[in-house]
Amino acid sequence: MGIEYLKNEGLFRLTAQDTEYVIGIADGVYVGHVYYGRKIDDSRCGYLMRTDEKPFVPSNNIKDKGSFADCFPWEYSTWGVGDYRESCLRVRSADGYRGCELHYEGHRILDGKPRLPGLPATFEAGGKEGKAATLELDCRDHVLGLKVILRYSVFADSPAVVRSVELINEGQQPLYLEKVLTACMDMDGEDVDLLTLGGSWARERHMVRRPLCFGKQMVSSCRGESGHQDHPFLAVMGRDAGQDRGDVYAMHFVYSGNFVAEAELSQFGSVRMLMGINPEGFEWVLGQGESFTAPEVVCVYSDQGLGKMTRIFHDLYRGHLIRSSYLHKKRPILINNWEATYFDFDSRRLLEIAREAAERGIEMLVLDDGWFGQRNEPAGSLGDWKVNEKKIPEKLPCLVEEVKKLGIEFGIWFEPEMVSPDSDLYREHPDWAMHIPGREPVQSRAQYVLDLSRQEVVDYVWQSVSEILKSAPISYVKWDMNRQMTDVGGCCLGREHQGELFHRYILGVYELQERLHREFPDLLLENCASGGARFDPGMLYYSPQIWCSDDMDAVERLAIQEGTALLYPLGAMGAHVSACPNHIVGRITPFETRGHVAMAGTFGYELDITRLSEDEKNMIQEQVEMYHRFQPLVREGDYYRIASWSENHRYDCWQVVSKEKDEALVTYVQVLAEPNQRSRKIYLKGLAPEAEYRLEEEDEECRKEEFSMLDSDEKVTLPSMDGKIYKGALLMYGGLLVPRMKGDFVSVMYHFTRVG
C-alpha cells in the first residue's frame, strides 16, 4: 500500500495490494484519469490519457479547447466548459452564471485517513494491516473563488480505493451548488455490461445485468432514502465476466439518502462512471468561507469477476466501516413478536412467547410495533413514545425484568423519524412535520415525516428514544423508517436553502445514530426501513446488521440475499425464519429450508412459537444448535456464489470458507424438483487444493432421501457419506454430487473440515 508522486511524469500512483490507480496532470493543470487495474508498476503510463493525439492539450491547440474537454478522461468533471458528458459538479454564481473549470494547484500525501464531518465513512483500523494513506489534490476555479479538494484513500489490507470531495468557498460572494457528485471515472470499454441492483418493497436488491449501450444509463433515488427500488451501486464489467473471471469496475456509495449512479458510453467508445448525491431537488448555498463535504464512494476493481469484487467489499466493510462491538461477536438469536401478534398483545401474551422461546434456546425477545401511545392500529401515536399501560400495566422495566428472568435478553422497536397526524406530538407541533405551506401534506402509511433538519426535532427524538433505553436493561433496538418523503419543505430553512433539506435530514439521522453509538456502546442496533429501503453502507457504519427485507419467504429471500451478499458481509443481513404459509406470498416451505436460508444472515424467528407443532419446536432447537456451530464461520468467512436460482430457475447454492481454509459450509436449495434426473454436480470454491476435507455429519434431509429407479418402482436409499474425505482439488475441479431430493423448496447443507 502506498501513494507516490512522480513529479517528472506528472503522475500520482496509488497502489493497494494487487491493484494500481493512476492520476495524471495534463498540460500542468488538468486532472485526468490514467489507469485503474492490475498493478503495472511503470511510470511511463501517462500516454494512456491520449494527450499527444488530436485535439491535443489546450496549450498546443487553444482553438479547440472544447474538443479537448469533451474527450479528456477527467478525474472530476465539471459542467459548462466543454465536457458534454455527464458531470460531477455544477455551480451557479451569485450573478446567476453556471460554469466551472478546475485547475490543479497542489497536493498532500497523508498518513492515515481523515474523517468526514457528520458523515459515515471508512476509517483506518488498528494494527499494521489496517493502516491507510490519503492523497489530497487541491484544485481551484479562480473565477468563482472555489477550492475543491479531491481525496483518495487506500488501505494496507484492501485493494479498494475510497474517494471523497470537499468544496470551499474562498470567494467574496455565495455560491450555489446545484450538483455535487463524489466520483467520476473514465475508461475505455465499448463491449461491456452494466450491473445494478433493483426491485421494490419485499423484493429488494435483485441483480440486473444488461449491455451498456451508447448514451446514459442510471439508477437513482429521490425518495429521501437509498430505497427499495434502486441501490447506490453500479458495476461495469466485461461482457464475458462472471463469478470467477473477467474485469469488474464497481462503485458503492456510503450514503443513506438520495443518490444517482450512472454509466455513460460516449461517442468515442469511452465509459464514464459517476456516483453521488442526486441533484434532483438538491441545491446547497455555500457562503463565504463555508465548506461542503460530499459522502464517500468506494471504488473496487476485480480481475477475477464478481466473486473477488464481493470479497473485497466484505473485507473492507468488516475491517474499515462497521464499528459496533458486535462486529466479531455472536449475535443473539431473537424472536420478534410482529408476525405472531401484530398489534394484538399484552404482557401476558409476550411472556408466553418469551417462555416458549427460552425453552427452545432462543436468546432474545424483541417487542415490535404497538407498545406506545394508543397504538392499536397503524394510523396513530407515532411520536408519542410513552408505554401503553393498557397493554403493559406493570410498565416496561418490570416486563423487561420478567423476560430476563427467563434467561433471555430484551429488544424493542422504534420508528422515531415519523409522526402520526393522530398523535399528541403532531397536535402540539404540527410544524415539526415536513410540509409545504398552503398544501395539504401527503400521508403515506398514515404518517408524516419529521423534519430532522431542525435541531429541536432531533433533540426531541433523542430524548424520547434515550429515555426508554435508560428505563430498562434493553439490549437491542430495531430502528425503522416506514415511508418515503413528500412535501419536502422546511419552514426554518428559508427560501434560498430549501434545496438543502434532503441532505440535512440525512445528517440529522446520522447525528441520532451517532449518539446511540456513543452513549449506548453495548447496544445492538439493527436498522430497518420498511424492510430493506435503507440497506446501504451509510447505515452499516452505525449498525452491524440491517433488516434485509420484510419478505421472509425462503424462496423469495434467495434472490434478495444473493443481491445483498454481492456487496455486504453475511453477518450484516437480518434474516429470520417466518411462519407458513408466508404472510406476504402465501407460500408453504419446509421448516428446514427456512432455517437453512436464514442461516446465511444474522438468524432469528418471526412467528408464533406457541402455536408450532412439537416437531417444529424440536426443529428450532436443532437450528439453534446449528447456528451456534456455524455462525462464526458465516460471520467471518469468505463468501462464494456457486449457482443462482435467478439465473438457472431450478436451484440455488452458496458457500462460506474460513479465512484459514480449514472449514467450509455449503448450502444447496432445490427450488423446483425435476423428474427423471440424476444427482447434480456442484463445484466448490476457495478450498486449499492440496488439503483433505472431511464431510461432517450430513444433513438429515439428504441422508434419508429415497430414489425411484428409472426402470423400476423399487426405492433405494443412498448410503450416508458422513466422514468421507475429499481432496480440495477434487471438490473444486471434479465436483460434489448432490443427490436428487423429492419436492420443491427443499435444501441441504454440507459442512467440511480440514483433515490434519
Catalytic residue numbers read: 480, 550
Residues 73, 79, 82, 86: is their CA dihedral positive or negative?
Answer: positive
Residues 497, 499, 500, 501: is their CA dihedral positive or negative?
Answer: positive
Strand-pair category, 524-527 with 476-479: parallel
Cβ contacts of 312 within 8 Å, gap of 6 or more: 158, 159, 160, 300, 302
SS3 of 294, please? strand
Query: For residue 332, what is its C-alpha cell?
Result: 443473539
**How many Å separate Cα 719 from the centre of its chain?**
43
- Nearest CA to 417 out of 433, 440, 439 is that of 433
Are 247 and 458 contacting, i.e. CB atoms less than 8 angstroms apart?
A: no
- Categorise residue 560: left if φ over 0, alpha if ψ from -120 to 50, beta otherwise: alpha
Taking CB atoms within 8 Å and a gap of at least 24, the contacts of 428-435 are: 431/491, 432/456, 432/457, 432/460, 434/485, 434/486, 434/487, 434/488, 434/489, 434/490, 434/501, 435/487, 435/489, 435/491
Gap between the Cα atoms of 593 and 577, Å rounded: 9
Gap between the Cα atoms of 565 and 550, Å rounded: 17
Helix axes 614-636, 591-598, angle to 10 degrees: 20
Give φ, ψ of 563 to 5 degrees: -65, -40
Identify the helix (H) or strand (E) that includes residue 519.
helix 501-519
SS3 of 549, please? coil
Other CB atoms within a 10 A radius of the CB of residue 348 amount to: 8
Gap between the Cα atoms of 574 and 708, Å rounded: 39
**One-character DSSP codes across 21-56:** EEEEEETTTEEEEEEEEE----TT-GGGG-TTSTT-
Gap between the Cα atoms of 468 and 464, Å rounded: 7
**DSSP E strand stretches across 282-361:** 284-286, 291-302, 334-336
Gap between the Cα atoms of 693 and 697, Å rounded: 13
Gap between the Cα atoms of 115 and 112, Å rounded: 10
HEC letters along 430-448? HHHECCCCCCCCCCECCEE
Query: For residue 439, what is its C-alpha cell?
Result: 398544501
Task: Provide the b/e sequence for 679-704 (b: ≥16 CB within 10 Å).
Answer: ebebbbbbbbeebbbebeebbebbbe
**One-character DSSP codes across 309-326:** HHHHHHHHHHHHT---TT
* Neighbour-count burial of 600, counting CB atoms closer than 10 A to its CB (0-12 exposed, 13-18 middle, 19+ buried): buried
Residue 203 to residues 550, 558, 587, 639, 651, Cα–Cα distance (Å)? 9, 10, 15, 22, 18
- The neighbouring-strand residues paired with 479 are 414, 527
What is the helix, strand, coil percentage profile of the chain, to 5? 25, 35, 40
Gap between the Cα atoms of 619 and 605, Å rounded: 12
Other CB atoms within a 10 A radius of the CB of residue 521 amount to: 10
**One-character DSSP codes across 155-206:** ETTEEEEEEEEEEEE-SSS-EEEEEEEEEEEEEE-SSEEEEEEEEETTEEEE
Are 133 and 143 contacting, i.e. CB atoms less than 8 angstroms apart?
A: no
